[in-house]
Amino acid sequence: MAPPRVRAVAPALALGLALALALAACGAPGPAVSTDDGGPAARTADVSAGATSGAGAAATFDPGMLLAIPGAPSRPTGPTSDATLVRVVDGDTIRVLVDGVEERVRYIGMDTPELEMGTGATPEPYAEAATDANRRLLAGGRLVVERDVSERDRYGRLLRDVWIERNGSWTLVNLALVAAGYAQVATYPPDVKYAAALCAAQRAARDAGRGLWGLAP
């Protein structure tokens, strides 16, 4: 359940609007967004969708980043299922096998720039970087999906918090992507179990200028 997006405007402006919605979701005022093509929103158009270095690039994920987030969960706290990764669709969606059935899983509580926006359309800024970060976070380890309240979204996708367990250490991938600046918060009741931690992670990413928050006007 991605937040509403404005498809008719430049990808850079759409990104600015999405970040403003993300801040509003956590009770913070959104950044100023210019509609002038020469204004601050347009500057993000100079950054490729797959940017991974330089100004505005997201930091390499450090597990210690999550230890400083108030209320960050250390392991799943609700109903879980083991899953096998089939492929990464984009920064906030994966395909997995659960009990032998292939399912499309939409991460709860966060949203990343759109990778596929229609035939011939350009991915939103940072979409490729977010997809690659998701892929790297999921590489190697036990994949577990955790249900909050809802089972599926209106598109039939499973709504889940996605965890990776390595040597007894758990990482909530949804939270890691927000903390590293690859995703912004997008919460929809009743699936708000980790909303406070996601907002805290977003504040830390914004204050540090990580990823999307370094690119945003």
Structural domains of the chain, ranges and CATH numbers in brackets: 11-215 (2.40.50.90)
3-state secondary structure of 162: strand
CB 186 within 8 A of CB 155: no
What is the band of 15 on the pLDDT scale with cuts at 50, 70, 90?
low
What is the band of 4 on the pLDDT scale with cuts at 50, 70, 90?
very low
pLDDT given at position 124:
86
What is the band of 130 on the pLDDT scale with cuts at 50, 70, 90?
very high
Phi, psi of 145 (to 5 degrees): -110, 135
Buried b / exposed e over 94-125, threshold 16 CB at 10 Å, is: bbbebeeeebbbbbbbbbbbbbebeeeeebbb
pLDDT given at position 141:
94
Mean pLDDT of 68-81: 95
Buried b / exposed e over 58-71, threshold 16 CB at 10 Å, is: bbebeeebbeebee
Cβ neighbourhood burial of 8 (10 Å; 0-12, 13-18, 19+) = exposed
3-state secondary structure of 11: helix
pLDDT of 60 over the 70 cut:
no
Rounded Cα distance, 143 and 183, in Å: 20
Mean pLDDT across the chain: 80
Three-class secondary structure assignment of 40-60: HHHHHHHCCCCCCCCCCCCCC
pLDDT given at position 95:
98
For residue 104, indicate whether it is catalytic: no
Other CB atoms within a 10 A radius of the CB of residue 21 amount to 17
The pTM assigned to this predicted structure is: 0.77
CB 125 within 8 A of CB 111: no
Rounded Cα distance, 21 and 19, in Å: 5
pLDDT given at position 6:
41
Residues 196-213 have pLDDT tens digits of 999 999 999 999 999 999
pLDDT of 66 over the 60 cut:
yes
Share of the chain above pLDDT 90, in %: 61
Catalytic residue among 106, 147, 160, 210: 106
pLDDT given at position 128:
93
Phi, psi of 100 (to 5 degrees): 80, 0
Q: How far is CA 38 from CA 45, 169, 185, in A?
A: 11, 47, 28
Catalytic residue among 5, 103, 146, 157: 157
What is the band of 63 on the pLDDT scale with cuts at 50, 70, 90?
confident
Comparison of pLDDT for 98 and 125, the residue scoring more: 98
Catalytic residue among 114, 124, 128, 146: 114
Report the first-to-last Cα separation within the chain, whole angstroms.
Answer: 25
For residue 136, indicate whether it is catalytic: no
For residue 116, indicate whether it is catalytic: no
pLDDT of 70 over the 70 cut:
yes
